[in-house]
Structure formats: structure tokens, C-alpha cells
């Protein structure tokens, strides 16, 4: 379709007529994305022509105005649907995410979270929650996506993290109380556990140890295919390990409900970034205590057995993982109020079938940096000189950038850029150590090489979309099959 008076290139899926006005996204001869409006352009800032056409820059103000006109561009809570979080650290991946969903046949089966960024990621990349929201908006508009989608304020650790996400209209909040989890309690002797339990903030918890002992240490809990018996040492360990995390989660949830002023939202509690796995008894205890406090948890992310490391497949005994996953899924079904969430979920191809099978689709899979890695793959192919510099900077800053991440990468196994021929560079994205080193360097590389990366992606938009499609169809396919 052509638009009278428009001389740029139109993204065909973006063209929409709504309430008598036609909207589209185009790219100017200079390569800039721009919003086109045929008809009244009230609320938008742009330049009008004599053909009834207004061309508007892709600003935050125009993104907000477009969301107000086209309601499907506004995120919403997704509840218990099978969902998938697409992290986008650059802001240009949403079209590829949508292409992957369509190619996998997941348009109706999987509820996407296109807008997802953690406080930590925003700090390292210099982006704001509003910028992440707006980037997702333009990508969704470009590809003509009309199904519900969500926006995740990921890894919120304190109440002070909330306001910019609330102001930007996020609908999914992942509370991360991992700093309040007592990892040492995993191996503490009973007398030390009693000391720690006695020191818990019982006023904030709103209960007493005696009440909890009566609730948990009586009759066994009969679940679907699983029976859990709490003795006192098991309860003490669960309390010492997670008691403060539960109180902290409740405090953030109360603050969030107040800031949202009655708006509905999805809430996730995540304890995946801890040093020790969450046992079945601990999962049961956490879920029971959250629900007893009317915390509207939609998903829960335990720390599973094995290693969930960035950008690589599951590391561990897959049979042990599946046996423990079956217990976690039974607990989830018992409470029937939330779904399991799998964090650091990218590239875990060997265990996706088991996750899909045991959860029956009641699952949220969260990925973060894998779309950024696909961008680097394209840079390696199209701009090898810049990629070599990025690789060397990633190696130089690795010890700093790896902080807060659990990694097995060995820096000495990552070659220097000068030692590789051009055709060898893209293959580094398949090498375990290089992949992890590049993964955690996102702050360093996006800060130092953002214009070069974006220039490559703008010059080969189709290549980036196709790369994301190939990569994410492998992620999505097992969950699409499970939903059919």
C-alpha cells in the first residue's frame, strides 16, 4: 500500500485504520523511523503536509499519544497464561520476537512480555523504564501485533525501584528479595537456626513461630503425587532461609498496590538468584505464606537444582532436575493460584520439553540477553573490525562485568580479536566461554559501541529479525506444542 505524499518506506504490517484515521510506521530516506498519520493528528507533534498527512518523530510523547489512540499498544496483566519474557537490551528486537512467535505458531498459545528490563540492566545500559516501554511500543506497532502483551519491571529489590516503572505503565512486577535470603541457613545446625528464627521481624510477618509450627508440623500435606511432611528442623530451616524474604516481598507488594491506586497487575516473587536450590518443602512454605498474606502472586521463580547460567544450556543432572521439577509442579497445582517461572531461561533447550510437560503450560519463561547476543552475531558478520574491539573490551572488563552473575566461563579460553579471521568471528557466539563473556559485557559494549551496533541492525533489519526468529523458535516450540 502507498500513502499519498509519503516518500519513505512503509512497514506494511503497521498500516492500520482506526476510528477514521490511518496510522503507519515508515522509514525516511535518511533511515529514521517515523510515524505517519492520515487524518486528524490531535495529540501528536509533527509536520503536516497538504495531502492530509502528518509525519511525526518517534518520541516518547508521540508513543504515548499512539498508545492512547490504539489500545492494543498498551500492555496488560496476563494472569495464568503460558507466557514468555523477551528481554531487549538494545530496543530493536521486538519485531524479531513477534516474527518468531508467528513462525512458531505461538500467536494464540503464548502470551508475550515484549517490554522487560531489570533495574540492574537499566543501570548498566543507561536506559529508563519509559524508553524500554516506548521501544517495545514502536516494535509492536511496526509488526501489527494485536494480541495482549505484558511489561515486566524485572528484579525489583526495594520500594524505591518502583516509581519509574509505575509511571511508565508496567503491568508485571518481579520482586527479587534474594538479598534477604539467608543462604547460610542451608547448612546451619539446629541451634543456630533457632537463633536466626528468633531474630526474624515477627511484627512484619504478622504471626509467631508457635503458630507456624502448629500449621506446618501437624499432619502431612497430601498433594497431587507428592506428600510433604514438615518436622521442626525442616520448618526452622525454611523460616531462617526465607522468612525475611517473605516479609520484604509483602512490604514491596503493599507499596506497589498503593502506587498503582487499585489498578490490577501481575506479581512474581523470584528467589532464583540465590546460592542454594529451593527445596520442595521451602517452595511449599514460601507459596503458603505469600498466599496467606493475600499477596497476589501470579508466578513464583524458585532456585532450581543445577546451573542456570547466562546464554547457555542447562548444566547439571537432567534426571535430577526433572524429578525436582515434578515436585515443584505438584506444589503449584496444589495451590492453583500461580504458575512456575523459569529465570535465566534462554538457551535451556535440553530441559524445555520437561518444563512444558510437567507444568502443563502453567509456566513463565524469562530470557534477557540472548537477543543482544544475536545482535552481536550480526555485528561480527557485517562489521568485524568493530566486533574485534568489542571482544577485546569484553575480555578486559570481564572481572568487573561478571559481578552479580553465576558463571563458569574461563577468560583464558576466549581468544583475542586479532587472533581470528573475519569468517571465524560469528562462531564465537557458539563458544561457551566467549558467549558468557560477551553476554555479561552488555553494559560495557552497549555504552561504548551503541551507535555501531544500532547502525548494523538498522542496515540489516531483516537479518536481525531472521536471526531472532531462528533462535527463539527453538525456545518457543516446546511450549507451543504443550499448549495445543
What confidence tens digit (pLDDT) does each residue in 334-384 have?
999 999 999 999 999 999 999 999 999 999 999 999 999 999 999 999 999
pLDDT for 394: 98
* Contact criterion met (CB below 8 Å) for 269 and 289: no
Distances from the Cα of 463 to the Cα of 135, 206, 311, 469, angstroms:
19, 55, 20, 10
The CB-side HSE value for 128 (13 A sphere, CA atoms) comes to: 10
Tell me which of 121, 154, 374, 383 is the catalytic residue: 154
pLDDT for 2: 75
Examine the residue annotation and report whether 268 is marked as an active-site residue of this protein.
yes
For residue 125, give the H/E element and its range.
Answer: helix 119-125
* Contact criterion met (CB below 8 Å) for 54 and 37: yes
174/157 Cα distance (integer angstroms): 9
Angle at 324 between CA 318 and CA 325, to 5 degrees: 85
31/20 Cα distance (integer angstroms): 29
Angle at 228 between CA 226 and CA 234, to 5 degrees: 145
3/44 Cα distance (integer angstroms): 19
* Contact criterion met (CB below 8 Å) for 242 and 286: yes
| 443, part of any domain | no
* Contact criterion met (CB below 8 Å) for 73 and 140: yes
C-alpha cell at 241: 532461609
The yes-or-no verdict on residue 4 having pLDDT over 90 is no
Domain total in the chain: 1
Distances from the Cα of 10 to the Cα of 47, 147, 434, 445, angstroms:
17, 22, 38, 31
| 143, part of any domain | no
393/396 Cα distance (integer angstroms): 5
Burial of residue 175, with CB atoms counted within 10 A of its CB: 0-12 exposed, 13-18 middle, 19 or more buried: buried
Tell me which of 143, 161, 268, 433 is the catalytic residue: 268
β-bridge partners, 21: 18
Q: What is the extent of the structural domain holding 44?
A: 9-61
The yes-or-no verdict on residue 1 having pLDDT over 70 is no
The yes-or-no verdict on residue 147 having pLDDT over 90 is yes
- pLDDT per position as a tens digit, 150-191: 999 999 999 999 999 999 999 999 999 999 999 999 999 999
The yes-or-no verdict on residue 122 having pLDDT over 70 is yes
pLDDT for 50: 76
pLDDT for 404: 82
Beta strand 47-48 pairing with 53-57:
antiparallel
| 18, part of any domain | yes
| 35, part of any domain | yes
The yes-or-no verdict on residue 243 having pLDDT over 90 is yes
- pLDDT per position as a tens digit, 410-455: 999 999 999 999 999 999 999 999 999 999 999 999 999 999 999 9
User: Span 74-100, mean pLDDT?
Assistant: 97
Q: Nearest Cα to 438, choosing from 477, 484, 380? A: 380
Task: Go through 129-138 and write b for each residue having 16 or more CB atoms within 10 A of its CB, e for each that does not.
Answer: bbbbbbbbbb
pLDDT for 138: 98
* Contact criterion met (CB below 8 Å) for 297 and 291: yes
445/124 Cα distance (integer angstroms): 10
First to last CA, the chain: 35
| 410, part of any domain | no
What is the residue-averaged pLDDT of the chain? 96
| 376, part of any domain | no
| 365, part of any domain | no
| 290, part of any domain | no
Examine the residue annotation and report whether 273 is marked as an active-site residue of this protein.
no
C-alpha cell at 213: 509450627
**Percentage of residues of the chain with pLDDT beyond 70:** 100
pLDDT for 238: 98
Rounded (to 5) percent helix, strand, coil in the chain: 50, 15, 35
Amino acid at each position: 500500500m502507498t500513502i499519498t505524499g509519503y516518500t519513505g518506506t512503509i512497514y506494511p504490517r503497521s498500516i492500520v485504520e482506526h476510528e477514521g484515521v490511518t496510522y503507519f510506521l515508515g522509514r525516511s530516506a535518511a533511515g529514521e523511523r517515523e510515524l505517519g498519520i492520515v487524518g486528524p493528528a490531535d495529540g501528536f507533534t509533527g509536520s503536516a503536509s497538504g495531502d492530509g498527512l502528518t509525519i511525526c518523530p518517534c518520541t516518547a510523547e508521540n508513543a504515548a499519544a499512539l498508545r492512547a489512540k490504539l489500545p492494543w499498544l498498551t500492555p496488560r496483566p496476563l494472569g495464568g497464561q503460558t507466557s514468555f519474557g523477551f528481554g531487549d537490551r538494545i530496543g530493536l528486537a521486538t519485531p524479531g520476537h513477534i516474527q518468531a512467535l508467528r513462525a512458531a505458531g505461538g500467536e494464540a498459545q503464548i502470551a508475550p512480555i515484549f517490554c522487560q528490563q531489570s533495574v540492574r540492566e537499566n543501570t548498566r545500559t543507561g536506559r529508563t523504564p519509559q524508553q524500554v516501554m516506548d521501544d517495545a511500543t514502536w516494535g509492536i506497532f511496526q509488526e501489527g501485533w494485536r494480541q495482549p502483551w505484558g511489561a515486566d519491571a524485572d528484579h525489583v529489590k526495594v520500594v524505591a525501584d518502583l516509581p519509574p516503572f509505575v509511571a511508565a505503565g508496567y503491568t508485571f512486577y518481579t520482586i527479587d528479595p534474594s538479598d534477604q535470603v539467608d543462604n547460610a541457613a542451608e547448612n546451619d545446625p539446629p541451634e543456630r537456626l533457632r537463633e536466626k528464627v528468633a531474630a526474624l521481624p515477627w511484627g512484619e510477618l504478622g504471626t509467631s513461630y508457635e503458630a507456624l509450627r502448629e500449621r506446618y508440623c501437624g499432619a502431612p500435606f497430601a498433594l497431587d503425587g507428592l506428600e510433604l511432611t514438615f518436622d521442626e528442623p525442616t520448618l526452622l530451616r525454611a523460616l531462617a532461609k526465607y522468612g525475611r524474604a517473605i516479609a520484604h516481598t509483602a512490604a514491596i507488594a503493599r507499596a506497589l498496590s498503593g502506587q498503582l491506586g487499585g489498578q490490577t497487575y501481575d506479581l512474581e516473587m523470584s528467589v532464583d538468584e540465590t546460592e542454594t536450590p529451593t527445596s520442595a518443602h521451602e517452595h511449599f512454605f514460601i507459596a503458603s505464606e505469600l498466599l496467606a498474606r493475600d499477596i497476589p502472586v501470579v508466578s513464583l521463580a524458585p532456585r532450581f537444582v543445577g546451573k542456570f547460567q547466562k546464554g547457555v544450556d542447562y548444566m547439571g543432572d537432567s534426571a535430577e532436575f526433572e524429578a525436582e521439577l515434578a515436585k515443584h509442579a505438584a506444589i503449584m497445582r496444589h495451590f492453583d493460584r500461580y504458575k512456575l517461572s523459569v529465570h535465566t531461561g534462554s538457551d535451556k533447550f535440553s530441559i524445555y520439553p520437561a518444563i512444558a510437560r510437567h507444568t502443563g503450560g502453567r509456566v513463565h519463561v524469562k530470557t534477557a540477553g540472548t537477543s543482544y547476543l544475536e545482535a552481536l552475531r550480526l555485528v561480527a558478520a557485517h562489521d568485524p573490525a568493530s566486533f574485534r574491539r568489542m571482544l577485546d573490551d569484553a575480555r578486559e572488563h570481564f572481572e568487573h562485568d561478571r559481578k552479580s552473575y553465576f558463571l563458569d566461563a574461563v577468560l583464558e579460553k576466549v581468544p583475542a580479536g586479532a587472533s581470528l579471521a573475519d569468517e571465524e568471528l560469528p562462531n564465537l557466539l557458539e563458544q561457551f566461554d566467549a558467549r558468557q563473556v560477551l553476554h555479561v559485557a552488555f553494559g560495557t559494549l552497549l555504552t561504548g559501541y551503541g551507535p555501531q551496533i544500532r547502525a548494523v541492525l538498522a542496515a540489516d533489519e531483516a537479518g536481525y529479525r531472521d536471526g531472532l526468529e531462528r533462535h527463539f523458535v527453538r525456545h518457543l516450540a516446546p511450549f507451543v506444542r504443550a499448549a495445543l
